Structure 1
Amino acid sequence: MTSYLIIDDEHMAHEVIKDYCDLIPGMKLAKQCYDALEALEYLRINRVDLIFLDLNMPKLKGFDFVRTLSKKPKVIVTTAYQEFALEGYELEIADYLLKPFSFERFLKAVNKALVLDKKDSSTIFTRDNLDTESIFVYSDKKYVQVKLDEIIYIEAAGNYSKIVFEQNQILVRTKISDLMDKVAEKFIRVHKSFIVSKKHIRIIEGNRILVNENYIPIGNYYKSQVNKLLND
């Protein structure tokens, strides 16, 4: 579990960051602070793994706050001011997010910060360990988290892909080759247009494969991969 602290004098910024963190497994809100002095008071007796820090705040500016910390958690700056980026990297800030930022950019920053944190490996959250259970996909103008175990198969649709579940399906704005990179361990590509879940394979017969209730063709190029699966 990764505990995090939000330090920002804008209520809207708190809402955005918290909403994004709620989408990421293993993220736990420790406290929301609206100025740096409030955060200092909290950190005197509490420990957090990650801080989301605004720079332009009353009483004590963001980087001045960072300089006061003796034991510094990983810090991700969230600001509207690009000109302070160099100073931030000199202070070993994990990442520098310019408002407004997308969820994808936010997730990249979180991954980067926690991969860099070698002090407590139990708190490290990376794209790899997220993808062993679930992935985020972009569908219908929003990011959706899908559980890998619930996916039956994935079908190519040009620059899009169709993710098929037992009861429904969604169209995502991602090429099938990029999705294969995300789901690799639990899935196998059996055709240039199809990736299937190993868990849901029922029958392999000639040049086709039965996944749940759906027959999927096996391409000649991918036949050896299917045969390897049989011999594992």
Structure 2
Amino acid sequence: MIKYIIIDDESVAHDIIRGYCDALPNFSLVQSCYDAIEALECIRNNKVDLVFLDLNMPKLKGFDFLKTLQHPPKVIVTTAYQEHALEGYELNIVDYLLKPFGFDRFLKAVNKIDIKVNLENEQEERKHSDSFFVKSNKKLIQINFDEILFIEATGNYCKIITSNEEIQVREKISDFLERLSTNNFYQVHKSFIVSKKHIKAIEGNRISIEDYIVPIGKMYKNALTKLL
């Protein structure tokens, strides 16, 4: 479900956007805001995935409002002013809708946010799960996070070393960084990610994990020291 707010000082604009969103099964309105101050309070107190943002508003203009947000939701600009489009894309907006816009153009814009939010939600769910699946030798294998000792990159593959077995998968080490909690797993070398709970000892540039020795890369050593 994509939770959205509308920020516009014209009630007609609210009616149009809300009507379009009501035609979609996975959109839920959090609040209709008529100025940026009202929107700031709403975002502070609610989970908001998407903002439909008008630019020409009282008190605080649209892009000025956007610049005040440390971690802004996804933003689709809705405006009658084409000349601000470049500035909008520099602020990483999802799309720029020129008023008046029809449902087909609206749908094209929200399809972008649908994909982005769903991907982010899937990544977040994986991080809070107890396990995940990998494909190895044409079969799916479920791996518990607690059992992982370390992961080693070897060419186009990665080896997942667990308490019980070694599993080789055709994935990049960066793919695992997206799945693993940064509180429990640390990248200590360009080719190694280790589980904090299984570290037995650190001596010089080497980490002992059960009967294994994992190297610490020079560029990772200071960061590792701070984390521990």
| TM-score bucket (shorter structure) | 0.5 to 0.7
Letter of the 1:119 partner, please give it.
E
Deviation at 1:119, TM superposition (A): 2.2
Q: Which residue in 2 is equivalent to 1:78?
A: 78
Deviation at 1:44, TM superposition (A): 1.2
> Does the Cα contact within 8 Å between 1:55 and 1:77 map onto a contact in 2?
yes
Map Cα deviations across residues 83-136 of structure 1 (whole Å, 9 max, x no partner). 00000000000000000001010011001123233321399xxxxxxxxxxxxx
> Does the Cα contact within 8 Å between 1:49 and 1:74 map onto a contact in 2?
yes
Q: Which residue in 1 is equivalent to 2:87?
A: 87
Q: What secondary structure sits across from 1:48 in the alignment? A: coil
Deviation at 1:33, TM superposition (A): 0.2
Q: Which residue in 2 is equivalent to 1:119?
A: 120
Q: What secondary structure sits across from 1:88 in the alignment? A: helix
1:7 aligns with 2:18: no
Aligned pairs for 1:79-158 (under 5 A) are 79-117=79-117, 118-121=119-122
How many residues were matched structurally? 123
CA–CA separation in structure 1 for the residues paired with 2:112 and 2:43? 23
Map Cα deviations across residues 156-198 of structure 1 (whole Å, 9 max, x no partner). xxxxxxxxxxxxxxxxxxxxxxxxxxxxxxxxxxxxxxxxxxx
Aligned pairs for 1:199-214 (under 5 A) are none
Q: Which residue in 2 is equivalent to 1:42?
A: 42
Q: TM-score, normalised by structure 2?
A: 0.52
Q: What secondary structure sits across from 2:120 in the alignment? A: coil
* Cα RMSD after superposing both structures: 1.5
CA–CA separation in structure 1 for the residues paired with 2:64 and 2:57? 11
CA–CA separation in structure 2 for the residues paired with 1:96 and 1:79? 8
- Larger C-alpha radius of gyration, 1 or 2? 2
1:64 aligns with 2:76: no
Deviation at 1:71, TM superposition (A): 1.4
What percent identity do the matched residue pairs reach? 64
Map Cα deviations across residues 39-70 of structure 1 (whole Å, 9 max, x no partner). 00111111111100000000000001111111
Q: TM-score, normalised by structure 1?
A: 0.51
CA–CA separation in structure 2 for the residues paired with 1:122 and 1:82? 35
Map Cα deviations across residues 21-43 of structure 1 (whole Å, 9 max, x no partner). 00011110000000001000111
CA–CA separation in structure 2 for the residues paired with 1:105 and 1:8? 19
Structure 1: 5+ residue runs without aligned partners? 124-232
Q: What secondary structure sits across from 1:120 in the alignment? A: helix
